[in-house]
Structure 1
């Protein structure tokens, strides 16, 4: 007589009970490709090393800059307009041409004890009522520490200017007073010297807002007052 199986079914002696199979889940959740795992770990390691190197470089550069600043203690260079002589400043009413002749003397003071300055290029420009009159190239030079150097610029010639009603009124006021408001700007390319180390080039701009009396036929309408110019890095 057939024997009952555990689940209550009866099978004959020659019929074995069915086998139960376990089908593995799809996707192979527990498997890992050794090659991809190694590549991912290697990339993470490289990125981490690069980040650490960059952080180290930034910290070292910051320390070097701080040490150099503590050693040299850089101070701003000082520019002064010491003397100016304006012998001609006439605006023609027929063709709006301005005839001018201006000579300007300036001094540059380097107050630093351990820093020298290379003035590789100096370009001086004169402006009146916001309009450029002329550009002048000055000689390049090296200025040692704790030194005062002189600059001399001459602006002479003629320039066509277009003055609006306000500018024309300002010109009349200047002419009546015998003193003219003229702006002089210096555009520079300089390098700093720390011992034997030279810095990259900087391009500071110097601006002088000047009130210059007219000196006509040897008679000046006023006295020029020395003025410190502004420095913009």
Structure 2
């Protein structure tokens, strides 16, 4: 007659079941929280903030050989929270100018800001670059545009945003803003140019 041994008799086998129940409860709780956040998100229908380039004043814009650009800009850019029930935290913002997808100034840090419902925020950073090398084909295009009397720059704002719904703060999303500035060349002084219109958002 053969005797078969059976292990884990008595109370020793209950630990595994308890651990499974705890894990199941934790997973269920996480799922409920995520579903709640998702439903709140759908109901509130959050909108991206709107950005407007209000003014661009150019104090220096000189292209020298070999393809070195020195520039200095004062910009005023505004953002509006279009949401009625959601606040926006702007974190780690910085602005810079680019020409044909090539950055031509150093990045200037913007102060972190919390924006309440339907609230506006305004920043006026100084952007500058000293003898920044630019691509030869961009130098040719820039020269042609300057001769025509109008050239186009892109004012860029990058950073991180978080959404606030009641007491809940959600996520950490990348902010990627591009506003076109159409610069008109003035006859005097030759190093001073300004642009106020037209403007673009996002």
Same fold by TM-score, threshold 0.5 exceeded? yes
- 1:124 matched to 2:95: yes
5+ residue gaps in structure 2?
none
- Alpha-carbon distance in 2 for matches of 1:100, 1:88: 5
Q: Does 1:225 align with 2:178?
A: no
CA-atom RMSD, angstroms? 3.1
Q: 1:42 to 1:137 in 2, by over 3 A?
A: closer
What is aligned with 1:12? none
Task: Provide the aligned length of Structure 1 versus Structure 2.
Answer: 199
TM-score (norm 1): 0.69
Describe how 1:74-89 pairs up with structure 2 within 5 A: 74-89=46-61
Larger radius of gyration: 1
1:54-112 CA distance string (max 9 Å, x none): 5412430233113422553321111122322334322112x543121222222201011
Structure 1 residue 51: deviation in Å?
5.4
Match of 2:5 in 1: 32
Structure with more relative contact order (C-alpha pairs < 8 Å, separation 6 or more): 2
Q: Of 21, 31, 35, which residue of structure 2 is paired with 1:59?
A: 31
Q: Can you give the 5+ residue segments of structure 1 that lack an aligned partner in the other structure?
A: 1-23
The answer to whether the 8 Å contact 1:85/1:215 transfers is no
Contact 1:187 1:204 in 2 (8 A): yes
Which piece of structure 1 moves more, 179-188 or 206-215? 206-215
Aligned to 2:177: 206
Distance between the aligned counterparts of 1:222 and 1:83, measured in 2? 6
Aligned ranges 1:1-233 → 2 under 5 Å: 31-35=4-8, 43=16, 45-46=17-18, 48-49=20-21, 52-70=24-42, 72-93=44-65, 95-129=66-100, 130-164=102-136, 166-217=137-188, 224-229=197-202
**Matches of 1:193 and 1:223 in 2, distance apart?**
33
